[in-house]
Amino acid sequence: MMAFKSPITIALPKGRILKDTLPLLAHVGIKLRDDPDTSRKLILDTNVDVVKVVLIRATDVPTYVQWGAADLGVTGKDTLVEHGGEGLYEPLDLHIAKCQLMVAGHPEASLDGQRLRIATKYVKAAKRHFAAKGQQVEIIKLYGSMELAPLVGLSDLIVDLVESGNTLKANGLVPLEFVMDISSRLVVNKASWKMKHETIIALMEALSEAVNG
């Protein structure tokens, strides 16, 4: 197992990303001491004394890492695009929690035209997508259940993550246009990158092997 010269705090979001990240960490020799499904603790010990894991929301991971409250984190590319990435390096695609960001709506919905109303949690990604097509759209910010918006006339279209497509299907909606591929990324605080370089590089190389092997 790799040697840890510096103490390291890793920020992880509960749910699917955590589930997919734990086997990668195990491959590197890091295992949680507590069961994240039953423990209410937010700071978890690992079998490596100097490695701690903090459990937070995916959208908060870039913030904790940006401010150095965690040295490293794992979160989705969707979250990173919305955060903007200040204070962070994003050195490794972990190829987990893969899905696609898509424009979706009623099967007969038109993608063309100006001033379409787009409901989404992914405001920056949506703005960028339509701006690149030369379309002015009105973005309606939501925090979840985007599929509801076209059903009740709140919006013409949505921009949302699609994995199996089951949520869209169950609501009579279809994916209409690809926006971007999404997967989870390792993010690193810029100061930690310098101060704890050896440990972080070793951890990254081990993780990269776990990802590609």
Q: Binding residues for ligand PRP, per CB under 6 A?
A: 144-145, 160-167
The angle, 0 to 180 degrees and rounded to 10, between the axes of the packed helices 197-212 and 16-28 is 110
If residue 80 lies in a helix (H) or strand (E), which one and from where to where? helix 77-83
Q: How far is the CB of 177 from ligand PRP (least distance, A)?
A: 15
Q: Are 150 and 157 in contact (CB under 8 A)?
A: yes
The residue among 60 and 160 lying less far from ligand PRP, judged by its C-beta, is 160
The residue among 144 and 153 lying less far from ligand PRP, judged by its C-beta, is 144
The residue among 61 and 207 lying less far from ligand PRP, judged by its C-beta, is 61
φ/ψ of residue 10, rounded to 5: -115, 125
CA atoms within 13 A on the CB side of 115: 0
Q: How far is the CB of 104 from ligand PRP (least distance, A)?
A: 9
The Cα-based distances of 147 to 51, 121, 151, 183, 195 in angstroms read: 40, 11, 7, 21, 44
Q: How far is the CB of 169 from ligand PRP (least distance, A)?
A: 8
- Tokens 């209409």, residue? 176
Q: How far is the CB of 146 from ligand PRP (least distance, A)?
A: 6
Q: How far is the CB of 100 from ligand PRP (least distance, A)?
A: 9
The residue among 148 and 202 lying less far from ligand PRP, judged by its C-beta, is 148
Q: How far is the C-alpha of 37 from the C-alpha of 19, rounded, in Å?
A: 10
The residue among 124 and 190 lying less far from ligand PRP, judged by its C-beta, is 124
The two tokens of residue 124 are: 């920056």
The residue among 144 and 213 lying less far from ligand PRP, judged by its C-beta, is 144
Instruction: Please name which of 85, 47, 52, 45 lies closest in space to residue 71, comparing C-alpha atoms.
Output: 52
Q: How far is the CB of 5 from ligand PRP (least distance, A)?
A: 37
